[in-house]
Amino acid sequence: MAFNKFNVFHWHIVDDQSFPYQSIYFPELSDKGAYSCNLIYTPADVRLVIEYARLRGIRVIPEFDTPGHTQSWGKGQKDLLTPCYNGGQPTGSFGPVNPILNTTYDFMTKFFKEISSVFPDAYIHLGGDEVDFSCWKSNPEVKEFMKKQGFGSDYAKLESYYIQNILDIVSSYNKGQIIWQEVFDHKAQLKPDTVVQVWMANSYAHELSSVTGAGFPAVLAAPWYLDYISYGQDWKKYYRVEPLDFPGSEEQKKLLIGGEACLWGEFVDATNLTPRLWPRASAVGERLWSSRNVTDLQDAYRRLRNHRCRMLRRGIAAEPVFVGYCAHEGRRP
């Protein structure tokens, strides 16, 4: 990242499948939620990452994505997730974080107190994407709550109710918040400096207009999902993106504070991470650093190839851009 002048490491540290973050207040979360007891990040590991990043001028912004994407949280924290129902009976499976219980917010208050002190950056990413309402809809207590709150059958309102509480909790620890675009789209009440991360590929320029039009800073990720691999020189399509190409005023454009290349992990681990990331992510790195008029593809191609060979020399297994070779590879004596 530092070789490419990236300056933010967005650590999507936990999700449905596993909870590798070893929490000090809630050790059961990783005890029960990690894939295995040695596939965890201890507090020392986390400190190491933060310091290693700091020395390279890289901010570490952790993401603890709720209320969806939390299956693994339920293993170590009883009653955190919503029990799903079928025909009046609990099915045994669980949905998103349960937004109607006080215990949920007690837990989150304590949990985010820890996160706020462990991670020194001014911002925490709170997720808020892809919340599946079906489990909430099936739960009688949740349905009761919806009625009491006057939300009708609009579960986006329940989602916003939940998120707003979390945002308040995190605010009270003097941390700024970044959230995925759904939180904004579903009209939750956001603090003025809340950063909205635009990730949905469909009409993302339009979304950027809406977000900045409403006065919120935006971070663009939508066209830079590097996990979506395809055959050929796909770095070009990442390079061609012009983040400010959306309808809006000067003030709006100033609110586009940058972007992120995303490498989601469904099909990625240590065996293929490096070649999949580099040099493709370098195209994003240049687009976010360089001036708007640095767009010549042929020139970029030449420099990207050089840069790839440079990374190879530095021991980074960056994959090839196209046919050819680097001077410092080939047979060893």
Partner 1 sequence: MTLENEPPWGTPCTQLLVYVAMPGCDGFPNLDSKESYKLIVSKGSMLLSAEAIWGVLRGLETFSQLVGRDENGTYYINETEIVDFPRFPHRGLLLDTSRHYLPLRAILETLDVMAYNKFNVFHWHIVDDPSFPYESSTFPELSKKGAFNAMTHVYTASDVRAVIDYARLRGIRVIPEFDTPGHTLSWGPGAPGLLTPCYVVQEPSGTYGPINPILNSTYEFVTSLFQEVSSVFPDFFLHLGGDEVDFTCWRSNPKIQAFMKEMDFGDDYKKLESLYIQRLLEIVSSLGKGYIVWQEVFDNDVVVRPDTIIHVWKENLLTPYKEEMANVTRAGYHALLSAPWYLNRISYGQDWMEAYRVEPLDFRGSPEQKALVIGGEACMWGEYVDVTNLTPRLWPRAGAVAERLWSNSTVRNMDDAYARLSEFRCTLLGRGVQAQPLYVGYCENEFGEV
* Catalytic (active-site) positions: 130
Q: How far is the CB of 322 from partner 1 (least distance, A)?
A: 6
Nearer to partner 1, 192 or 324 (CB): 324
Binding of partner 1 at residue 231 (CB under 8 A)? yes
Stretch that binds partner 1, among 132-140, 145-153, 255-263, 265-273 (CB under 8 A): 265-273
The residue within the footprint of partner 1, chosen from 267, 294, 302, 306 (CB under 8 A), is 267
Binding of partner 1 at residue 265 (CB under 8 A)? yes
Residue reference for tokens 């995925």: 180
**Other Cβ atoms closer than 10 A to 19:** 29
Q: How far is the CB of 325 from partner 1 (least distance, A)?
A: 4
**Other Cβ atoms closer than 10 A to 82:** 25
Q: How far is the CB of 230 from partner 1 (least distance, A)?
A: 6
Closest C-alpha among 194, 199, 207 to residue 223: 199
Binding of partner 1 at residue 262 (CB under 8 A)? no
Q: How far apart, in Å, are the Cα atoms of 238 and each of 3, 20, 24?
A: 18, 31, 39
DSSP-assigned letters across all residues of 171-226: HHTT-EEEEEHHHHHTT----TT-EEEE---TTHHHHHHHHHHTT--EEE-GGGBT
Using CA atoms of 296, 294, 197, 25 in order, give the dihedral in degrees to the nearest 10: 110
Beta bridge partners of 195: 178
The residue within the footprint of partner 1, chosen from 2, 17, 203, 296 (CB under 8 A), is 17
Binding letters toward partner 1, positions 36-55, x by CB under 8 A: x--x----------------
Nearer to partner 1, 18 or 160 (CB): 18
Binding of partner 1 at residue 324 (CB under 8 A)? yes
Stretch that binds partner 1, among 35-43, 56-64, 95-103, 197-205 (CB under 8 A): 35-43
Q: What is the phi-psi region of residue 130: left when phi exceeds 0, alpha when psi lies from -120 to 50, beta otherwise?
A: left
Binding interface with partner 1 (CB under 8 A):
17-18, 35-36, 39, 227-233, 265-272, 274-276, 312, 317-320, 322-325, 327, 329-332
